[in-house]
Structure 1
């Protein structure tokens, strides 16, 4: 993976430097169980390609975005079936601590403050 921009997900997660419990993986997307979860069930979904945020996706990323959305739908469907509820969100600007597009998918009791 050659990314001009370094961020936590590229540098630690996708490089394999930090071992995380994998939830789902395909050629272009990666989902893992959050290591410091906000909810009882908390998965982070990201593209393997570095994309800074939802706002920086280009037309050339349309297929990638569809794959991410299909994967988010699959994870949320799993959470709905097992836990009866799910939430999906991405952060932008100051709310986005790591400048790599990612979605949080969660369910259950909130374990810590945002």
Structure 2
């Protein structure tokens, strides 16, 4: 299934360059950026540059990308924890996943919008 066959904001907008983002960290396979419409005071999204639907669909040949993602998440969470004393790291699966591209939220603070 091609990425554009379903709701994939990250492939269709962010990775294509159609929606500009403020990059926090970038590696060969991972992009971390400030959420385009943040829900929290500090809200960073971490995505693989390769289309992977969800954490439960990761294939054997994608495990190195997953390790790279977790390395980026660890660095961002460490920095956020030093700055604020806490943070939340989360991902969604199935019907909770509004964007059908594996992504992680690293966030801190009060909810600023619904």
TM-score bin (small chain)? over 0.9
Structure 1 equivalent of residue 69 of structure 2: 68
Q: 1:63-88 deviations in whole A, cap 9, x for unaligned? A: 11111011100000010011111100
1:4 aligns with 2:2: yes
Does structure 1 conserve the Cα–Cα contact (< 8 Å) formed by 2:3 and 2:12? no
- RMSD of the alignment, in Å? 1.1
Structure 1 equivalent of residue 109 of structure 2: 108
Q: 1 CA distance for matches of 2:87 and 2:57?
A: 26
Deviation for aligned residue 1:26: 1.1
Q: Give runs of aligned pairs for residues 9-48 of structure 1, distance below 5 A.
A: 9-48=10-49
Q: Number of residues paired by the alignment?
A: 111
Structure 2 equivalent of residue 58 of structure 1: 59
Q: Which runs of 5+ in 1 are unaligned?
A: none
Secondary structure, in 3 states, of the residue corresponding to 2:3? coil
Moved runs in structure 1, 4+ residues, more than 6 A? none
Q: 2 CA distance for matches of 1:88 and 1:26?
A: 19
Secondary structure, in 3 states, of the residue corresponding to 1:11? helix
Q: 2 CA distance for matches of 1:35 and 1:58?
A: 28
User: Under a length normalisation based on structure 2, what TM-score does the superposition of the two structures give?
Assistant: 0.93
Q: 2 CA distance for matches of 1:34 and 1:8?
A: 12
Deviation for aligned residue 1:4: 2.3
Q: 1:6-28 deviations in whole A, cap 9, x for unaligned? A: 22100100011111111111110
